[in-house]
Structure formats: structure tokens, C-alpha cells
Amino acid sequence: MFYAIPSAGIVFSYLGFRQALEFGGEAKNPQRDVPRATVYSVLAAIALYTLLQVAFLGAIKWPAGTTWSTLTSSSLGSAPFFTELQYSGIALFIAFSYFLLIDAWISPSGTGWIYSGNSARVLYGIAADGYFPSALLKIHSKTRIPYIALIASLVLGVVFFLPFPSWYLFVGFISSATVLTYVMGPLALMTFRKHAPQLHRPFHLPYASVIAPIAFVGGALIVYWSGITTFTMIFYTTFIGIPIFYFLYASKKLNLSKLFAYTMGLIELVIAIVALVANYMYVLYPSSKESMGTRTEIFLSSLTVMAGIVLLFTAITSLKVSQKDKQMFLSSYWLLSLMIVTELFSYFGAFGNEVLIPFPWDTIVMIAVYSVIYVFALRGGHNTEDLSVIVEEQKDFNLNK
């Protein structure tokens, strides 16, 4: 049941609430409408999918001996509502079943359009912060959209289809990778409460000190429940992205020499790609029948090398930057630790290849581990230059007002 949350499209079905946040810049009254849209979209999804399940279960004729395995192996497993409408014997329902098939082909285009615009905005925002090339900031004169960022998001989206042998694994990857970014939210909220309590907030979340750790641990658990196959792809893909930081940001914003930044980035890139390919070919989808011992050795070796290089390079880089920028690296160790620990337990837990910690003990252990990481992550939160500017601007605005 827990494995189904990230892998069977359950989390994916609820991800639409983010668009209210990311397109909030166009809202006439974002302080009022963005919180409403976020909450209402989640409530609407809960109601819709609950009613769909009630309809599905209620429409099945449950003969003796029927089990979930017999249902999923039949046409109900691949086209449940179409099959039920066909079996109803009612002409109107049968006609509607074909409309349902047509809609199943058309509807995803709406999601595609929304996410295309959303991805372009994300790339634009990262480029505006200086992490990605400034070419992504180019705005089309007529449509007023970041067209280079839009094209780049399309190319990246196509590339991500390559390593996944099934649609379900692709959805699981997207869901888990997105939820991984959600663990930042509770930490950001509590950091703002600590370092900028005077900021005006049109929406004030009650009981944040209780909700934040639950949200953090819950989000991390969903990522863990995605299983070793999905999380290994997330793990190494994330570290493939670190060289972008060295190539495009470190030399420009942190005053590091290009030789040092490019060397660090290139070494990490090569190791991450080699480790990802090795895990994909010999651990996740082995073409030959390697023994479990061999697969475990490859897994542990690549994890040890990748974790060691990332932690070592992070420490070395932090020693070469200014005191002001040093905090950036000191505040990253909790995330690196979360990634490494999750990858390790994903392999040896109930959702891995070699189960040494069975369910539910693995989940209980991860709750304890994530709770400790949450405490250290909060300690890593600090007052940034951008936050100080926002506080001062709001003070000046209140004084002028």
C-alpha cells in the first residue's frame, strides 16, 4: 500500500496544487487566491479520487473467490471504468465508455501544457538566480514567454523518457523527485519564522511547529517508499546536476577559479554518470544473472565512491569560499545525508533488493532517522542576504505607508 503511493500515480494525481503557486504571479489577489487555490485543489482531488474508488468498487460484481490478483490480471486492471461501463449492459453507459477512451487520449494534453509552462518558469527562475545560463531569460517579443527556457524544458523532458522502461516507473520518478523538493518547504517555513518573524504574512499557518516536522518526515517517507529502482535514478540524477553548480555558478558568483570549479564539476559528472550506468545495468536491470552478492557489491561500491566524492568536494569547496558563502555549504550537509541514507536503506529495506530490515521496521527506523535529520536541518537554517533585503524593504514600505 505504501509503495503504491509514489509508484502507482497516487502522489502524481495530487501534484497539481503546485501550479497555483508557480503561476501565482498572474493572480490579481495572490495573498487571498493562492492559499485558497492550493487548499481547494487538494480537497477537490481527495473528493474526486475517493468517489472514483467508491464507483469502481461498487460497480464490480464480486463472485466467490475473486481477489485483487484476479482483478488486476483481467481487463479491469488496465481499463477499469471502460470495462465496467461495457459490462453494465446499458446502451447509454456503453456509448459513454467510448467517450471515456477518447477523453483518456485528449485529457493528458492539458497536464502537458500546464507542466510545459511550469517547467519553463522554473528554468527561467533558476537562470535569474544565476545558476543557469542567461540565455534562458530571453522573452519572446510577441508572446512574452521565456521561449528558450520552454524549448529547453521540452528537450529535457524527452531525454528523461530514455532510461525508463515503463510509464509507471516514469511517473514514480517524477512523483518522488517532486516530493523530495517538498521537504524544503517545512524547513523554509520554520527558518522564516525564526529569522524573520517580523515579516508581514497574509496567510499564517497555525501549529506550524507541529505540522512542519510531520510534513518533512512524511515527504521523505514517500520518497523512501518509491523503492530502490526509482530512488537510485533520483539519487544519481541529482548528483549529475551538481556539476552545473560548478560550471555555471561557482566561478562567477563565488570567485572560484575556473580551473578548480571545472575540475570539481567534471570529476563529479563522470563519477555520477558511471555510477548511474553501472547501477542501471548490473543492479536495477541486469541483463545477465549476476548473483545478489555481486549486485550488492556494485551497489555499495558506487554509493561509497559517490557519497565520498560529494562530501569531500563540498568540504573542500567550502574552505575556498568567503566566510559569507561558507554557510551555503554548511547548510547542505543535511540534504546530502538524507540522500545517502535513503539510498542505503532503500536497498536493504523492505522496498529494496536485499531485504535485511523487513516492513514495518524499516519505515519505523526511517521515521527516527528523518526526525534527526530534520533537527540538524533546522540548525543549518540561517539569515541570508536576500532575506535581509526583503525585511528592510518591508520596513521602508511600512514607514512610507
pLDDT in tens, 244-272: 889 988 888 888 999 999 999 999 999 99
The span from the CA of 111 to the CA of 174, in Å, is 13
Angle, alpha carbons 322-324-330 (nearest 5°): 90
Domain hosting residue 152, numbered range: 109-162
Judged on CB neighbours under 10 Å (0-12, 13-18, 19+), 228 is buried
Q: Please report the DSSP string for 355-371 in residue order.
A: -SS-TTHHHHHHHHHHH
The span from the CA of 84 to the CA of 93, in Å, is 9
Closest CA to 16 of 33, 32, 51, 40: 40
The span from the CA of 342 to the CA of 333, in Å, is 14
- Tally the C-alpha atoms within 13 A of residue 225's C-alpha that lie toward its C-beta: 25
pLDDT of residue 165: 66
The span from the CA of 306 to the CA of 240, in Å, is 10
What pTM does this model have?
A: 0.85
391 CB-near residues (< 8 Å, 6+ apart): 196, 198, 199
pLDDT of residue 333: 93
Residue 117 belongs to what H/E stretch?
helix 108-128
pLDDT of residue 69: 79
**DSSP for residue 25:** G
Hey, what amino acid is at 11?
V
Q: Is 154 a domain residue?
A: yes
**DSSP for residue 257:** -
Residues of the chain with pLDDT under 70: 63-65, 164-166, 401
Q: Is 113 a domain residue?
A: yes
C-alpha cell at 301: 561500491
pLDDT of residue 353: 86
Q: Is 153 a domain residue?
A: yes
Q: Is 86 a domain residue?
A: no
pLDDT of residue 137: 92
**DSSP for residue 280:** I
**Contact present, 214 and 182 (Cβ < 8 Å):** no
**Block residue for cell numbers 517579443:** 141
At residue 3, the 3 state secondary structure works out as: coil
What is the total count of domains within the chain? Answer: 1
The span from the CA of 346 to the CA of 350, in Å, is 8
Q: Please report the DSSP string for 152-163 in residue order.
A: HHHHHHHHHTTT
pLDDT of residue 338: 96
Closest CA to 214 of 84, 385, 371, 106: 371
Residue 50 belongs to what H/E stretch?
helix 30-59
Judged on CB neighbours under 10 Å (0-12, 13-18, 19+), 373 is buried
Q: Is 133 a domain residue?
A: yes
The span from the CA of 314 to the CA of 312, in Å, is 5
**Contact present, 195 and 390 (Cβ < 8 Å):** no
**Block residue for cell numbers 515579516:** 199
The span from the CA of 237 to the CA of 257, in Å, is 26
The span from the CA of 252 to the CA of 254, in Å, is 6
pLDDT of residue 219: 93
**DSSP for residue 216:** H
Q: Is 98 a domain residue?
A: no
